[in-house]
Amino acid sequence: MFVVTSNQMYQAECNAVKRGISFPQLMENAGQACAKIIKNQFKISRENPKKILIICGKGKNGGDGFVIARKMWEYGCNVTVMLACGEPKAKDAIDMFSLVETAGIDIVRYDNNLYLLKPLIDGADIIVEAVFGTGFSGKLSDSLSALAQTVNFSKAPLVSIDVPAGVDCDSASAQGTVFKADMTIAVSAYKPVHIMKPCCSYCGKTVVADIGITDGDFGNLDSVACFTLGAGDIKKMLPKRKPVSNKGTYGHALCVCGSVRMPGAACLAVGGALRSGAGLVTAAFPQSAYPAIASKLTEPLLLPLETNFEGTFAFSATGDILRAAERASSVLIGCGMGFNKDTTRIVTNLVKELKIPMIIDADGINALSTNIDVLKEAQAPVIITPHPGEMSRICGKSVAEIVTNPISVAYEFAAEYGVTVVLKTANTVVCGGKPARIYVNSTGNAGLARGGSGDLLAGMTVSLVAQGMPAFDAAVCSVFLHGMSADEVAGKTSMRGMLPSDVLNNLPELFSKFE
């Protein structure tokens, strides 16, 4: 499903118009589709009519609301239209409003008179909000804020059309009072506000209304449109287990991870690789960390290597890693490996020399920060999995800027260095591929804000790559599944108390849903 900005949505509409659909027809389609969703959601019929209040703005979103009012009236409902901002101004909206007037549907004007209109709000079975849609920025006026507060306190479920009024569609931010929807009907496609945390919570349940705009209309935009996926999409992408197969069928993942101070990072990464289906996994780690790591790992091959005085890989281990990589299908570099001269030199050499896909995480990314241009010398696909702090070190932007603009930051870096970027924020973003693609993840929760979560994700990713998935697809699937497993764990226990090992241990049950 596409996730588009307000400008991209308008471009897609223009593309549809070029195909022969008029703007008035798109508005009619939008209103009819939204009305049908509301009818089905609330089981409306002539035998079960509802009292519906539809709050309309003066632009095109209000025009959608006028169509909804007419359709709900045709379904037998008792409909009242409230003009929140005065008479409609957009031509198509004016035309739709005239049809509401002709039908004899009750119309009231807000005029900041809550005392008189509060009984109407409190008496509604359903309230539909169609005030601004995608065109809003800033904050609601005092008058509309008061209306929003009254609506929010009413017992009636609130349905917002496209975007809840008071929320900026593209930045997914809110500066003041917001109409807090129980359900939002996204017209034609998701917008950033429907996906991006925390403002997606204002949308409630989000449902997409098909209004006749095609994938081709979205595919022919001036800029790359984001997309998001559901469990059904991920199931289609995952490699299938073959009835006749062996361990060699599912690839060999090499995990170059761990140190004396961070043995758990290696264990979580290797565990993620094993639990995600790789046929063979080799754990390469410093010899000095052997007691801590080997005691927790029984399934993988173990490759203890030379250690320096800090308890991390010695640079002299580079040759052994390269030889191990000759037998592997993919390599994970960095989880808990430490950041010093030796590990920096190892990472630099591996990026230059490896001829199989590599996933670079944690201290591997910190090592890259000393010579980021080495990525341009890579001979094989590279996936990097930074959190905002690590991203800041390799791109030179502040953490605040990265958190505010994760999509653009990840996209620009991926394009410049030819890698797949998995930027781990509240909504993890995956950018990369040719042609360029941008995936925005919708799974996961605050329970993942804990050391070790990224190590598990990196291990899952190297496993899917080892099984033959393209880098971008493997990153998307692992991010979705990692978040979904965390959501399941949080539902059983809590976000506060969950550990990355809980998410790891839930993976077998999770994968049963995808086989």
Whether the pLDDT of residue 435 is over 90: the answer is no
Least confident segment among 22-26, 221-225, 290-294, 438-442 = 221-225
Nearest residue to 383 via CA among 471, 321, 459, 251: 471
pLDDT of residue 413: 97
> In the predicted model, what is the mean pLDDT of the chain?
96
pLDDT of residue 113: 86
Digit-coded pLDDT (tens) for 52-77: 999 999 999 999 999 999 999 999 99
pLDDT of residue 179: 98
pLDDT of residue 151: 97
Digit-coded pLDDT (tens) for 163-181: 999 999 999 999 999 999 9
Residues in Cβ contact with 47 at an 8 Å cutoff, skipping those fewer than 6 apart: none
Coil, helix or strand at residue 348: helix
Q: Model-level pTM?
A: 0.92
Digit-coded pLDDT (tens) for 267-286: 999 999 999 999 999 999 99
Nearest residue to 256 via CA among 362, 341, 373: 362
For residues 241-272, b (16+ Cβ closer than 10 Å) or e, as one string?
eeeeeeeeebbbbbbbbbbbebbbbbbbbbbb
Q: What is the mean pLDDT of residues 283-310?
A: 97
- Model confidence at 112, pLDDT cuts 50, 70, 90, reads confident
DSSP string for residues in 239-280: PPPPSS--GGGG-EEEEE---SS-HHHHHHHHHHHHHTT-SE
pLDDT of residue 153: 96
Q: Where are the beta strands (DSSP E) in 296-378?
A: 301-305, 330-333, 358-360
> d(Cα 256, Cα 491) in Å, to the nearest integer?
33
Tokens of 371: 């010579």
> d(Cα 46, Cα 200) in Å, to the nearest integer?
34
pLDDT of residue 219: 87
Tokens of 218: 């979205």
Q: What is the mean pLDDT of residues 313-319?
A: 98
